[in-house]
Amino acid sequence: MSAPATSRFAQFKLVLLGESAVGKSSIVHRFVKNTFDELRESTIGAAFLTQTITIPETDTTIKFEIWDTAGQERYKSLAPMYYRNANAALCVYDITSRVSFNRAQDWIKELRKQAPEGIVIALVGNKSDLSDNREVELSEVEEYVEQYNSEATGGGSTIIIAECSAKTGDGVLEVFNRIGRALPVEEAINAAGGRARQAGGRRAGGVDLNRPRAQAQQGGSCC
Amino acid sequence: MATTQSTNSEEAPITPKKSSMLLDPNEYNKSDNAANSHQRNDSSYSRNFSLIDMYGEEAASSPTGPDSNDHGSTSDEQLDYQMLQSLDEFSFGEISTDHNVSQQTITQIRDTPTPQPPQHDEDDDDEDRLEIRQQYVIPTSMGNETKILNSPFDRYGFRKSSTHHGFTLEEYNDWFKEYSEYSYRRKKKWELLMKSHGLPIQEDDPVPTRFPPKSDKVKKMIRKGIPPEWRGNAWFFYAGGYDKLNRNAGVYHQIVENTKNIHNKDTEVIERDLHRTFPDNIYFNESIDANGNTLTVPLHSKETPLIKSLRRVLIAFAHYQPQIGYCQSLNFLAGLLLLFMEEERAFWMLVILTERIIPKVHSADLEGVHTDQGVLMLCVKEYIPQLWSILGTTFEGERLSDDQILSKLPPVTLVTSSWFMSLFVGIMPTETTLRIWDILWCEGSKTVFRFSLTILKLCLDNPEFDGAKHSPGGEADQIELFQFVQNFPKKILDCSNLVDLCFKKIGGYGFGSLSQDEINKCREFVSKQREMMNYKRRLSTKMTSEERYTLMNSSDGQLDGNNDIHDVYGFHRPIMGGVVWNRSISNKMKKTFAKRNSSRSST
């Protein structure tokens, strides 16, 4: 099934960050290929995938360039390369691990300090199917975000909160849809008129009628 | 302890020819430290490693070491001689080996079942360690090849094909049908080689522990592939494992004993990675049954012996090399080693790898990754300029000027970094990785660069690469390029062709001319430049913007130039030098090849 043709197209870079083994790659594979492996090999360095979504209300196709990263702490020295020019960041934690939630908070702090202004941040708790072993309550995540938003200086956008399960697929697509709606599509399309990159270092795609067709075909069975 | 002793005494007389590499005084100092290092406490986890020392080791060994009689350093006359030699082999080799196949002896066929989940004792770690190691690799023999062909798993217990692979099961089997015959012919050749060096293969002990010393002939044999079931012993022998083991008798088991119940950050990450190491391999994943179905038993309910070995090796290694600790990707390196050798040996191979072959690549700051990526990019610029014109950009898509290569590594290094960290494990099909490992353990780190360049050149030469290169808007779409470079190696099943492309000067890319000496010099250059750059950056973080400006524009000797460091490195040897120098000879050779090919195919 190819996506319905839309009149607008924009491309955004999204980076996944978070403690190792929280399920970053699994979320991406659920989103891109709709598959899940109980055991997935640890990601070394980075992995790159793309997927497009359509947002019917605004008649827009959004192509995500997904930069999936390795979770181990020492890879942090490579992280600036990942989130440079990123339009969105998915900070993932495992709802059964408090440590991983703390780590996700560290990432948010770092992003607020280092990442491009206006980056859309989503704080996502994975493994919602394991809620029997839950260590992180949604209410405390809300509390954290509320406090964070009130402390944040400047007009940074608010953090999107969500829970999902890459295993069952629950909530995964929704996360990306919500990010897609929060992304500055207008701005990107306008900026793309002349050149594809904005002064602030953010990059965005252009309006191209040929493109969604080509992408939709690639999205299904990405090599 | 008793087992360690006996193993050592068995192997002691087989100490390989001592090369200067093994006698390097730095090595001695290190291992002396190392022998005591299991007594270190947390406070000794200092990171005062000198890059130059690290690279010095390989550099020091190469002028006189076994690497020096390399294709890269041979004179042009020798090259021509080698070409003629390879022609000889080309015309007669194939015929004589076919003959060999028909005369195969039944004795070589050992009855080996299709891979089955190994039987093992539960919960008793000591038991596991002392028990006689199971042979995980199915030996090369005509009978076994058919069994492998009909199994969902390959010779090493990996699922032949899955969604992660770049090929289908049918494609694998088609390739394997031909390749298994090739493997069989190569094994016969190895047996002849062994015999000619007075090391005949005994029927009751078909896997040799001693091998002929390094020579041009041996190197050529290794490049064509070591018999799969000999690999563990051959790698260990050629990498200098016996030397390392003999000088550290008992050390590994002592560390294992001392680290039995430790819990720290490293062990935490290790635990999370154990079951994420080769989940597609029957010897690592307990929940795969012999038919290839994944059973729905509760996860981690049982551990295979290899998972237990992997845990011990990784924890011991993290303890022995505290400046590295545990780094994701070591699990794949150790895991692959464990399929081929017992854990003590796998441990020392990991030590050799991280000390000598790819130093600092796994260290806490991953400095070696940055260094080696800098070297690789300089090589791409020098030897594949066409590709550099595409890849040599910043994240913003702007062209990198010559003096920015090291300070702003091009984004494609995010893909190629993992090639160095996991040494192609998981990046390429298993047999392809193993063929590179055969060469790597014998020839050293230049192998990683040579094959990285070969893969990149193959990407460039692939028609689909053009499609990925140009987005409809005309601007190079980086993510499409990354995906291409990331996924392309997964499809390289034809490993013999890859090796030929890498080394052959005619009909190949001739990257065999990239010498270890060149790599060492370039590594040293890059690491110095990076040191300088990092020094400036460190300084500048504590400064006011004005001071920073002054520093960055300072032109005193030590902090030479501007903010961007000096990146112009002069390579000494043009890769295709031989062929360019004598084009008429190469054309003649090509014609001869073509003629022979056509006459062969018509018969």
Report the CATH number that the domain containing residue A69 is assigned in CATH: 3.40.50.300
For residue A85, list chain B residues with Cβ-Cβ distance below 8 A: 395-396
Which one of B395, B465, B490 would you mutate to disrupt binding with A, by most A Cβ within 10 Å of its Cβ? B395
pLDDT at B100: 36
* Residue with the larger pLDDT of the pair A145 and A155: A145
Residue B29 CB-density burial (10 A; 0-12 exposed, 13-18 middle, 19+ buried): exposed
Examine residue A40 and state whether it is found in any structural domain, yes or no.
yes
Residue B86, chain A, CB below 8 Å: the answer is no
Confirm whether A197 is domain-assigned. Answer: no
Q: Is the pLDDT of residue B512 over 50?
A: yes
Closest CA to B593 of B168, B195, B89: B89
User: Which residues of chain A neighbour B467 with C-beta distances below 8 Å?
Assistant: none
Q: What share of chain B has pLDDT > 90, as a percent?
A: 52
CB contacts of B365 in chain A (<8 Å) are: 74, 77
Domain contains A150: yes
Assess if residue A158 is contained within a domain: yes
**Token match 């090639």: residue?**
B419
Tell me if A1 is assigned to some domain. Answer: no
CB nearest A48 (choices: B366, B475, B483): B483
* pLDDT of B507 strictly over 50: yes
DSSP letter string over B218-266?
A: HHHHHHT---GGGHHHHHHHHTTHHHHHHHTTTHHHHHHHHTTT--SHH
Q: Does the pLDDT at position B36 exceed 80?
A: no
More confident residue, B283 or B553: B283
Q: Which residues of B502-532 are buried (b: 16+ CB within 10 A; e: fewer)?
A: bbbbbebbbbbbbbbbbbbbbbbbbbbbbbb
pLDDT tens digit sequence for B222-257: 999 999 999 999 999 999 999 999 999 999 999 999
Sequence spans of domains, chain B: 129-229, 240-357, 364-553+566-602
- Give the contacts of B146 (CB within 8 A, at least 6 positions apart): none
| Domain membership of residue A42 as a residue range | 8-183
Judged by DSSP in three states, A93 sits in strand
Given a cut of 70, is residue B456 above it in pLDDT?
A: yes
The answer to whether residue A12 is domain-embedded is: yes
Interface predicted TM-score of the whole assembly (ipTM), two decimals: 0.86
Contact residues, chain B, for A42 at CB < 8 Å: 273, 276-277, 328-329, 331-332
User: Which of the listed CATH numbers 1.10.8.270, 3.90.45.10, 3.40.50.1370, 3.40.50.80 matches domain B240-357?
Assistant: 1.10.8.270
Number of domains, chain A = 1
User: Where is pLDDT greater, at B556 or B149?
Assistant: B149
- Compute φ and ψ for A171, nearest 5 degrees: 80, -5
Q: Above 70 in pLDDT, residue A150?
A: yes
